Amino acid sequence: MATSSPLLRYAESRKNLTGSLCGLAGVGIALTGAAGPLWPLVVGGLYAAGALIAPPERPATPEFAEEGDRLDGVRADFATLRAYLAEVELSATARERLTALDTLVEALLEPGWVTDPEHLHVLARTVRQDIPEAVDTFVRTRWWSRFTSGAEAPEGHLERQLAALHEEATAIATALQEAEAIRQHIHTKYVEGRGN
């Protein structure tokens, strides 16, 4: 059986293992006679309770091979980041914001656009540190927030972080757009001035 089988993945999951341990406790209770004729319900109920309280599976945060601010390295790490993000469960709003940020970063990382080392450094930091840390922290916090009433929802924090990162990437895109507009204007003046 392949390890990618959903049944095998569930059999190895934290939810199944925790549920099985709780179910075994239920079997122990049943063997003492405390559960009476309802022992199957006790065992099943304890398994279900264990599966519900178990922490969710979370994909491992990506490890990036590159550390410098070379465009090719950042592009390779961006592909790694995308594979990680595809495995993470997010709310619809957070996924929408992440998709918008992903699209913008992808466009900025196209060869020939970002030449300023400072802009490339910001994009490298966004890909290698900011997005993975924001998403991983959300995944970890989301489970614990079930036990803490009145706390701010982790989705709100993630959405605000993604909005701030999108704003930062938009500033880079705006700077590139302005630079291209100036370049076009200068070239127009140059071409028109040759005729005089």
Q: Would you say residue 61 lies in a domain?
A: no
Residues 86 and 129 in one domain: yes
Average pLDDT over residues 19-42: 88
Domain count, the chain: 2
Residues 117 and 185 in one domain: yes
Q: Would you say residue 91 lies in a domain?
A: yes
Residues 143 and 182 in one domain: yes
Residues 110 and 40 in one domain: no
Q: Would you say residue 23 lies in a domain?
A: yes
Higher-confidence residue of 89 and 147: namely 89
Residues 100 and 38 in one domain: no
Task: Note the pLDDT of residue 124.
Answer: 92
Residues 135 and 189 in one domain: yes
Closest CA to 125 of 96, 165, 65: 165
How do residues 72-114 score in pLDDT, each as one tens digit?
889 999 999 999 998 888 888 889 999 999 999 999 999 888 8
Residues 137 and 172 in one domain: yes
Task: Note the pLDDT of residue 122.
Answer: 93
Residues 42 and 100 in one domain: no
pTM over 0.75: no
* 151 pLDDT more than 70: no
Task: Note the pLDDT of residue 105.
Answer: 94
Paired tokens of 111: 């060869």
Residues 26 and 108 in one domain: no
Closest CA to 154 of 96, 90, 62: 90
Contact between 79 and 37 (Cβ < 8 Å) = no
Cα 16 to Cα 8, 30, 54, 124, 176: the distances in Å are 11, 20, 9, 38, 51
Closest CA to 88 of 167, 6, 163, 158: 158
Q: Would you say residue 188 lies in a domain?
A: yes
Q: Would you say residue 63 lies in a domain?
A: no
Q: How confident is the model at residue 143 (pLDDT cuts 50, 70, 90)?
A: low
Burial class of residue 194 in the structure, from the number of CB atoms within 10 Å of its CB (0-12 exposed, 13-18 middle, 19+ buried): exposed
* pLDDT above 90: percentage of residues in the chain: 30
Torsion of CA 177, 166, 67, 176, to 10 degrees: 0
Paired tokens of 31: 């063997």
Closest CA to 171 of 126, 111, 110, 112: 126
70 DSSP 8-state letter: -
Burial class of residue 26 in the structure, from the number of CB atoms within 10 Å of its CB (0-12 exposed, 13-18 middle, 19+ buried): buried
HSE (CB half, 13 Å, CA atoms) of 146?
A: 9
Residues 24 and 110 in one domain: no
Residues 96 and 190 in one domain: yes
Parent domain of 156 = 71-194
In angstroms, the CA 155 to CA 113 distance is 33
Averaged pLDDT score across all residues of the chain: 84
Torsion of CA 63, 68, 69, 74, to 10 degrees: -30
Task: Note the pLDDT of residue 134.
Answer: 92
Residues 94 and 176 in one domain: yes
